[in-house]
Structure 1
Amino acid sequence: MKITAKTTSGKPNAAAKSSAPTEKPASKAAPIKPPAPIGAPAKPEGDAVAKPKRKDRWPESVMKLGYAQMPSILFWGQNKLELKPDEFNVLLQLVSHWWIKDQNPYLSKETIGRRMGKSARMVQRHLTTLENKGLIKRVERYKVHQGQDSNGYELEGLVKKLKEIAPDFEKATDLNKRRRAKAETK
């Protein structure tokens, strides 16, 4: 590839050869800003507040398999609910299958155990602990003329407990807002 370079006088220099492409003259447009780091929220132009979109965080190949809607207080309140990590994981498995308010999730202990890498017996122990803490209630289910099916799990106890601890988090959120506002005005 033959490229002629220009001399300082602006005339072409036929003797100069280069394999690199020549640079275009700089335009008078605004400078190009480097992209934000991965995971950083996009900064909106002007006073507009950019609402992050799910597709900006999760690729379509992940989201097409489905997703679960969970309240943040469930994560924040794990310690207040006195949940050990495996108990919390079992609870998340149940909540992730609770799509309609009046229809209890009904995962089998074997399914939960397989997902967690635990035995069905260990899952059963965690379910018993969650039931003793008042977070879930097992509901026996039966197939017509075929015997017992996997249990269903009522989650009203969890909802009630989250409502009870919500004021603590509302106070903390309010205090944080005031601290932020105070810091912004100094």
Structure 2
Amino acid sequence: MAIKSKPRAGKKPPTKSSTEMIFGPEVYGHGYTGVPNIMVRAQARLGLAPVQFNILVQLLSYYYDPAKPPFPTKRELRNRMKIADSTLKKHLKELETAGLIDRVQRVTAEGDYGSNVYRLDGLIRKLRQLAPEFDQEREDRVERKRIVETPKGRRSVR
């Protein structure tokens, strides 16, 4: 039986994130992957096929530290996605050609080839370029809501 500790006087108990509240601690406790909403909403504008989007999400799931780009093996990626080696290679090449990822071959201390390091700088740069458009869309949406919700006699001209 677990013993619950009482919060100390004057200290608030830690609040749960909305993600933890939605999925529950048993799921949230295994971690989560940060996928920017701009990437989700601009999938078509970025020219991402569903498999390519999935590859990027898989790579993001390995990206814990900004100083250490992800370096999963192709086998790990294929197994997670249940796709053929040729499918993975084709889409990685297309992501690289589109400037969204850069692959750098790792070499082990023994001189053997290791897994690729996947640099996502191109993806990050493109998402940052799209951010002002999404900022404007949000501002326009807030303004339209304000106008619709304000009685006509009280609307001020801006």
Q: What range is the shorter-chain TM-score in?
A: 0.7 to 0.9
Percent identity (aligned): 32
SS of equivalent to 1:153? strand
Q: 1:78 to 1:166 in 2, by over 3 A?
A: same
**Is this contact kept in 2: 1:112–1:120, CA < 8 A?**
no
**Is this contact kept in 2: 1:105–1:152, CA < 8 A?**
yes
Tell me which amino acid in the other structure corresponds to 2:92: L
Q: Tell me by how many angstroms 1:54 deviates.
A: 2.8
Normalised by the length of structure 2, the TM-score is: 0.81
**Gap runs ≥5 in structure 2:** 1-15, 152-158
Paired with 1:55 and 1:63, the residues of 2 have a C-alpha distance of 5
Q: 2:59 aligns with which of 68, 89, 94?
A: 94
How many pairs were matched up? 136
State the structure with bigger RCO (CA 8 A, min sep 6), 1 or 2.
2
Instruction: Spell out structure 1 runs of 4+ moving beyond 6 A.
Output: none
Q: Tell me by how many angstroms 1:55 deviates.
A: 2.6
CA RMSD of aligned residues (A): 1.5
Is residue 35 of structure 2 the alignment partner of residue 70 of structure 1? yes
Please tell me whether Structure 1 or Structure 2 has the larger radius of gyration of its CA atoms. 1
The correspondence of residues 29-178 of structure 1 with structure 2, limited to 5 A, is 53-145=18-110, 147-178=112-143
Paired with 2:102 and 2:36, the residues of 1 have a C-alpha distance of 20
Q: 1:133 to 1:68 in 2, by over 3 A?
A: same
Normalised by the length of structure 1, the TM-score is: 0.69
**Gap runs ≥5 in structure 1:** 1-50
